[in-house]
Amino acid sequence: MVPYLVRRWPAWCFGTSPGWWRKGPCEALVWPAGALGSEEQRRPASAPRAWGVGVAAGPACRAHSSSAGAHRVPLTQERYPVRRLPFSVVSEEDLAAFERIVPGRVITDPEELETANVDWLRTVRGCSQVLLKPRTTEEVSHILRHCHDRNVAVTPQGGNTGMVGGSVPVFDEVVISTALMNQVISFHSVSGILVCQAGCILEELSQYLEPRGFAMPLDLGAKGSCHIGGNVATNAGGLRLLRYGSLRGTVLGLEVVLADGTILDLLSSLRKDNTGYDLKQLFIGSEGTLGVITAVSILCPPKPEAVSVALLGCAGFAEILQTFGTCRRMLGETLSAFEFMDAECVQLVGHHLHLACPVQESPFYVLIETSGSNAGHDGEKLGSFLEHALASGLVTDGTVASDQRKAKALWALRERISEALSCDGYVYKYDISLPVERLYDLVMDLRARLGASAKHVVGYGHLGDGNLHLNVTSEAFSPTLLGALEPHVYAWTARQRGSVSAEHGLGFQKKNVIGYSKPPQAVDLMRALKAMLDPKGLLNPYKTLPSQA
């Protein structure tokens, strides 16, 4: 047991992010030798800390935008067809009760509330009048019991880095932030099992584990802001899923507070436990609609000793698939990422961000990462694979990064695609799971369907996980183009038995497309679960489940 205080990231760091969809002049971020960091590291000091999961709008565009006030996000209740449910309005008596439960941590200051009411993509805005910052599970329990008795709705909030408007209020729900629940409870250096409060920031957990020889089993772009509780509540995917699997396997236990304030202690630190139904799974990925996650127990893998990155050019998508198969066979257990991107992605990154691609022009590119315990062995495996891939014509050109700086530079070409897209105009974004062999067909289908009405139609993503990031750009928002895209993209995905939300969840914005990926019987059962666990519907209302007809 090594209790450890994770440094708190104060709420004022979450500044508003201006002009998300606005097309403006892009700052020229060239590729200076030795100066390449992650997107997090590169952001200007004035840019928001919140950072999205594999999504557009990097600092290059945003740094040139003007103040938040000039681009105030419309209220959700005005922009979307949604009606307030008959919850109680927070009263002075409620505020006084909250002050007794979390003294000095009842926030009603409008500026601080602004960051809690608006999602980081700046697409939705609630009008909550109060933000609570509990430090303990008992405080969360007391808050929820009070709200339950008074019929007050609540929205749990972690780092507020979600992509589907799931972590901000829709109307005046009370926001319960996990920002001060940021303690590591224990870490076992033999088993690698970490137990911590829900508000620990992912990157700080990684930093905590690093000198202890372990790593977090998940990694994603928002790591500098996102909370582990939010990661679990949204079943975050990210960059390491290919290697370490999903949170459904690595999360060993949870502590959850139910809608009526009941504390459900499922905080097991065991790899195996078959005593009854695995209740924690109910809360993983349920976006705070079934309970508030207050602590997490998670299995952490040993930190890899060596990491290598290769960027390869491929003549076609069929070759990409063959390369993936060969890769799995020859790189075996060292393969930790297999990302792909099409030629237009690389052209956009070059055009808007001035990042040069070190591999000769190709219709497709793959980025392969290996992480292992022995640099020599890993290098040999990668070398043999590359030799075979080149000799057999699977790949046409390639480069390997032998040090951290170059590896980061290669990753930048993949990670900054979304940033480049945001510089290209209005972006229509889809996060789709498909059978891997059909992954690119949707991109080609859309190119043919949209013709000149779209500026660019690009595809990239976590090929190893069957996860396509499909993006379409146009000069400005076009209802006609949107009509050509939706529901076509969802219906196409449904025909392949794909998922219309691979890793981002449904939240507020995608809840009504659930039917494209789940049959009515499943949605009915989800409603029954919600009714059972939260009969008053107080937890994160208007999210995840589709609106009732």
Return d(Cα 433, Cα 467) in angstroms, integer. Answer: 5
Give Cα separations from 72 to 18, 117, 346 (angstroms): 8, 12, 33
**Comparison of 237 and 313: residue with beta carbon closer to its own copies:** 237
Kindly state the tokens that stand for 72: 């105030």
Q: How far is the CB of 476 from its own copies (least distance, A)?
A: 30
**Comparison of 230 and 304: residue with beta carbon closer to its own copies:** 304
**Comparison of 128 and 231: residue with beta carbon closer to its own copies:** 231
Sign (positive or negative) of CA dihedral 431, 58, 113, 12: positive
Residue type at 418 in one-letter notation: S
**Comparison of 361 and 387: residue with beta carbon closer to its own copies:** 387
Q: Specify whether the CB–CB gap between 449 and 484 falls below 8 A.
A: yes
Kindly state the tokens that stand for 220: 């994603």
Three-state helix/strand/coil letters over 299-368: ECCECCCEEEEEEEEECCHHHHHHHHHHHHHHHHHHEEEEEEEEHHHHHHHHHHHCCCCCCCCCCEEEEE
**Comparison of 264 and 295: residue with beta carbon closer to its own copies:** 264
Count other Cβ atoms within 10 Å, centred on residue 103. 8
**Comparison of 63 and 436: residue with beta carbon closer to its own copies:** 436
**Comparison of 422 and 493: residue with beta carbon closer to its own copies:** 493
Residue position matching structure tokens 């449910």? 85
β-pair partners for 460: 341, 469
Does an H or E element contain 467, and which?
strand 467-474
Q: Specify whether the CB–CB gap between 152 and 174 falls below 8 A.
A: yes
**Comparison of 58 and 237: residue with beta carbon closer to its own copies:** 237
Pairing of strands 467-474, 426-433: antiparallel
Q: How far is the CB of 506 from its own copies (least distance, A)?
A: 6
Q: How far is the CB of 466 from its own copies (least distance, A)?
A: 5
Q: Specify whether the CB–CB gap between 216 and 300 falls below 8 A.
A: yes
The SS3 call for residue 176 is strand
Environment class of 404 (CB within 10 Å of its CB; exposed 0-12, middle 13-18, buried 19+): exposed
Environment class of 194 (CB within 10 Å of its CB; exposed 0-12, middle 13-18, buried 19+): buried
**Comparison of 475 and 524: residue with beta carbon closer to its own copies:** 524
Sign (positive or negative) of CA dihedral 313, 315, 320, 325: negative
**Comparison of 412 and 526: residue with beta carbon closer to its own copies:** 526
Q: How far is the CB of 289 from its own copies (least distance, A)?
A: 9
**Comparison of 160 and 433: residue with beta carbon closer to its own copies:** 433
Q: How far is the CB of 190 from its own copies (least distance, A)?
A: 5
Widest CA span of the chain, in angstroms? Answer: 75
Q: How far is the CB of 468 from its own copies (least distance, A)?
A: 10
Q: How far is the CB of 305 from its own copies (least distance, A)?
A: 7
115: which residues sit within 8 A by CB, 6+ positions away?
11, 14, 15, 16, 160
Q: How far is the CB of 110 from its own copies (least distance, A)?
A: 33
**Comparison of 36 and 193: residue with beta carbon closer to its own copies:** 193
The SS3 call for residue 292 is strand
Kindly state the tokens that stand for 166: 């799931």
Q: How far is the CB of 3 from its own copies (least distance, A)?
A: 16
Contacts 24+ apart (CB under 8 A), 27-36: 27/59, 27/60, 27/61, 27/63, 27/64, 28/354, 29/60, 29/353, 29/354, 29/355, 30/354, 30/355, 31/354, 31/355, 31/356, 31/409, 31/412, 34/405, 36/405, 36/408, 36/409, 36/412
Q: How far is the CB of 152 from its own copies (least distance, A)?
A: 23
Q: How far is the CB of 387 from its own copies (least distance, A)?
A: 14
**Comparison of 65 and 281: residue with beta carbon closer to its own copies:** 281
State residue 201 phi and psi, 5-degree precision.
Answer: -80, 135
Sign (positive or negative) of CA dihedral 244, 246, 250, 255: positive
Q: How far is the CB of 534 from its own copies (least distance, A)?
A: 12
Q: How far is the CB of 198 from its own copies (least distance, A)?
A: 18
